[in-house]
Structure 1
Amino acid sequence: MPRPRPFTTAVGVLLLVIGAAAALPLWVMWLAPRTQLVHTYAVYAASFIPYVALPTLVALLGLVLLARRLWRWVATGVLLFALICFGLPLLGTFPDDPGPAGDLQFLSINAQFGQVEVTDIEALVEPGTDIVAITEYTPELERRIADSDFGREFPHRVGEARPGADGTAVYAREPISLIDQHNGWAVNLLVQPTAQDGIDYTVAVVHPVAPTVGPDRWDADAHGIAAWLRPHVQPRFVAIGDFNAAREHVTMGYFRDIGLTDPQFSLTLGRSMLAKWQPTWPVGAKVPPFVRIDHVLVPQHSTFASNRYRDLPGSDHRAVLGGIFPGR
């Protein structure tokens, strides 16, 4: 086999260096999640773990260009194997929007310091929506809702309004009970709506602190919320809200440890990974949404959730419309 030309070698070195420099930290933070806590920037970088395939393939392509003789065939085989492993999950269906089915239907929004318009919240509410969960719920937003058609349509409320991003509330068409409240960085609620078709559901609305305050506090707040939820997790349970973490972040592991799972990935076999993965933040920024930090978590094999994602003017998060019902 002829010796690689200088241009081929230069391109190979460039691709290998750039790809490896981007891929290796992501692989380390994915396989050893506690390494994300070394610095706030590491937490931010871990948001890109879902994209790890891209720099990995770039690095492998660079290796193919640099390898010689038999090693080039080996590198090519590794590249093809990686393409298959990364590409197969992208295959599958992109089903039409089925709407949120289930016994209990919800809308979960982040009001971004309470600045969203009530009419925009109303526009997302559907006839079957039973509860509306609002994080970053402020006294000013509370007053505007009280004077609105939305407030009259959802007259029952639990929660606490606070200035800034700390408040949380749940509005309901029917009476709703507050089971418990956890005051971490923000208000976290555990509520029980009116039974749906004779079935009682427990709903947690959570809002851990963002990593901007530092990785240790971000980690501790999420860990505290998960520990608070642990004794309440039962077959008819769902946790919704702004988790300030992607599925691959270390803090989401605390919720998996108490038996919660993301039904988008565990119970929707046959769908393309692109259909399952729905980035929700940041909306309205100079870059499109690239990370999903707004989640719906349920106990594995006991409750199923069907989710949709919608833009909400005035918020930097996409809203989540969903429904939950007993798993089969």
Structure 2
Amino acid sequence: MGNAGAGRVRVVRAPKTRGLLPLVLAGALLAALPHLDFAASRSLAVLQALLPVLCLAALALGPVLAYRRAWIPATVLLGCTALSLAPVLQPVAGGACGPGEPVTVLSLNAGRGHADPSIIAAAIIASAPDVLVLVEASEPMLQALATALPQWHYTNRTGPVVTGGAVDTVILSKHPMHSEAPAARQSAGSLFDVPVAAIDHPRAGRIRVAGIHPVPPTHGPDSWAGTLATAERWTGQNTDLPLVLAGDFNATRAHPGFRALAHGFSDASPAFGPLAAATWPANGAVPAFAAIDHVLVRGLGIMDSSRIAVEGTDHLGIVAKLSSCR
């Protein structure tokens, strides 16, 4: 008597988990990325700066996995992406006080003095800033900028800048001001100087401004982290006046060191809803993807902000319209 089941082969399908583990690990890394701060690491800082790009890639991959009915990997990846974005969402700009007298700040990385003075002059004419914070500036560029304007109102300033060195940040004001001790000094070549000025606005009162420009983490991760930490301690020791931190921080909200420095401040930098508007790299084939330029304020209201494009620099500038608190 023959076997009725002879010739039949039972196919046992393995569960579709082969690709799950790598996606889970990638998702876990993505979710943890903005929290990692165990050491000053060049590679880690770069990965954190690339977080918007990584999240976009994950968001693009999620629907593809869902279309292929890989529901678990798609859910894991999208969930980890949401966890990754949560700590870096920029609070909606707004003042913590009633609007008083207007105060406008223009901040720009001038690309080692190569930013086009005529375009900066046009931005100054359009926005009429009270304060200019220029990093990577040069004395020839400042002279050309003064010549490009019908009238040069920014005669009050911090000291001379040394292009290509650590002291290349300058604060200029159309109102009386006096320089204070830097918030961070160069220490054996490891810290970029952070100039500070107290500005006597005729209507808004005295405001303290610090120009921020740490060395990029790709060049000196220890110096970069040290400058952010030193500036954070300094802000905690200087609470007597409204405070503006403006410049090229070489850091985004994905960097824990920046979030620590920005704690207690409102971010007047441009944003698209809860996402910070990117400012670098500009004027190139690749669209800007990293928001490393900021205007942080404490004790001031925020009215509006916008980005400006200037030829000769790979950064977008920021015009922040602030107000004193009533």
1:154 paired with 2:154, answer yes
Asked whether the equivalents of residues 249 and 294 of structure 2 are also in contact (C-alpha less than 8 Å), the reply is yes
Return the offset for 1:236: 1.7
1:307 paired with 2:305, answer yes
Describe the SS at the equivalent of 1:208. Answer: coil
Q: Distance in 2 between matches of 1:196 and 1:157?
A: 17
TM-score, normalised relative to structure 2: 0.75
Q: Which residue number in structure 1 is paired with residue 47 of structure 2?
A: 45
1:287 paired with 2:293, answer no
Structure 1 residues without counterparts, runs of 5 or longer: 94-100
CA spacing shift, 1:148–1:218, aligned 2, 3 Å = same
Q: Distance in 2 between matches of 1:22 and 1:235?
A: 45
CA spacing shift, 1:25–1:149, aligned 2, 3 Å = same
CA spacing shift, 1:52–1:24, aligned 2, 3 Å = farther
CA spacing shift, 1:80–1:36, aligned 2, 3 Å = same
Return the offset for 1:117: 2.4
CA spacing shift, 1:224–1:84, aligned 2, 3 Å = closer
1:204 paired with 2:210, answer yes
1:260 paired with 2:258, answer no
1:122 paired with 2:93, answer no
Asked whether the equivalents of residues 160 and 187 of structure 1 are also in contact (C-alpha less than 8 Å), the reply is no
CA spacing shift, 1:224–1:147, aligned 2, 3 Å = same
CA spacing shift, 1:119–1:54, aligned 2, 3 Å = closer
| Higher share of residues assigned helix | 1
Question: Percent identity between the aligned chains?
Answer: 22
Return the offset for 1:139: 3.2
Return the offset for 1:207: 0.9
Q: Which residue among 26, 29, 52 is the counterpart of 2:30?
A: 26
CA spacing shift, 1:120–1:63, aligned 2, 3 Å = closer
Asked whether the equivalents of residues 103 and 204 of structure 2 are also in contact (C-alpha less than 8 Å), the reply is no
Asked whether the equivalents of residues 246 and 252 of structure 1 are also in contact (C-alpha less than 8 Å), the reply is yes
Q: Distance in 2 between matches of 1:223 and 1:250?
A: 10
CA spacing shift, 1:180–1:140, aligned 2, 3 Å = same
Return the offset for 1:82: 7.7
Q: Which residue number in structure 1 is paired with residue 97 of structure 2?
A: none
TM-score, normalised relative to structure 1: 0.74
Q: Which residue number in structure 2 is paired with residue 183 of structure 1?
A: 185
Structure 2 residues without counterparts, runs of 5 or longer: 1-10, 93-99
- How large is the RMSD of aligned CA atoms in angstroms? 3.9
Asked whether the equivalents of residues 24 and 76 of structure 2 are also in contact (C-alpha less than 8 Å), the reply is no
Asked whether the equivalents of residues 280 and 290 of structure 1 are also in contact (C-alpha less than 8 Å), the reply is yes
Q: Which residue number in structure 2 is paired with residue 227 of structure 1?
A: 233
Between the two proteins, the alignment pairs up a number of residues equal to: 297
Q: Which residue number in structure 2 is paired with residue 168 of structure 1?
A: 169
Q: Which residue number in structure 2 is paired with residue 108 of structure 1?
A: 107
What is the identity, as a one-letter code, of the residue corresponding to 1:174? H
Tell me the alpha carbon deviations over residues 231-267 of structure 1, each in whole angstroms, 9 at most, x when there is no partner. 223462111111000111122033135x3242569xx
Q: Distance in 1 between matches of 2:13 and 2:219?
A: 50
Return the offset for 1:142: 3.7
Asked whether the equivalents of residues 208 and 242 of structure 2 are also in contact (C-alpha less than 8 Å), the reply is yes
CA spacing shift, 1:35–1:49, aligned 2, 3 Å = farther
Which one has a bigger Cα radius of gyration?
2
Asked whether the equivalents of residues 26 and 45 of structure 1 are also in contact (C-alpha less than 8 Å), the reply is no
Q: Distance in 2 between matches of 1:281 and 1:124?
A: 19
Asked whether the equivalents of residues 103 and 322 of structure 2 are also in contact (C-alpha less than 8 Å), the reply is yes
